[in-house]
Copies of this chain bind each other. A is one copy, B any other.
Amino acid sequence: MLTREQLMYAQVRACEYLDRVGIVLAAEESNNIEVADFGLDELETTGLELVVYVNTERVCAKELVLFPHQTCPEHRHPSIGEVPGKEETFRCRWGTVYLYVEGEVTPYPAAQAPKGREHTYTVWHEVVLRPGEQHTIPPNTLLLFDK
């Protein structure tokens, strides 16, 4: 589990990145930036910082911050009963995002799976997003991303 210090450090760092691209947050939002380490306690390599703007039953809008070489692990959003799985659009605002989805394997991907976790990374079709570029992912697609 993240210590209070790790959480605050990641929040401040995320704020710096957001500030750099001109995204204005309310004070409460800055204080509530979510820091996900997925219970793995290796935030530098496996983690994600999130500002949640909206999260209703119908729609969710977030700013995601990935620090350099930080990876959000492979996952999918399946349908559950009658609730359809999540459709996601990623838009790059700054830096370069490497998104990996199901499909033809990219021979020399830019990103690597975090050390010791190679077996949990199985999708290697690379989509490169630069500022102003985006990619929409249908529900139930395996994905991971890295910056």
Q: Which residues of A contact B (CB under 8 A)?
A: 21-26, 29, 53-54, 56, 58-59, 61, 84, 87, 89, 91, 93, 131-134, 136
Contacts and interface: CB of A to CB of B under 8 A. Distances in A.
A130 to B, nearest CB: 9
A24 B93 contact: yes
Report how many copies the assembly holds.
Answer: 2
A89 B54 contact: yes
A59 B54 CA distance: 12
Given A59-B59, A61-B61, A89-B61, A24 B132 contact: yes
B132 A29 contact: yes
A56 B21 contact: no
B87 A26 contact: no
A3 to B, nearest CB: 28
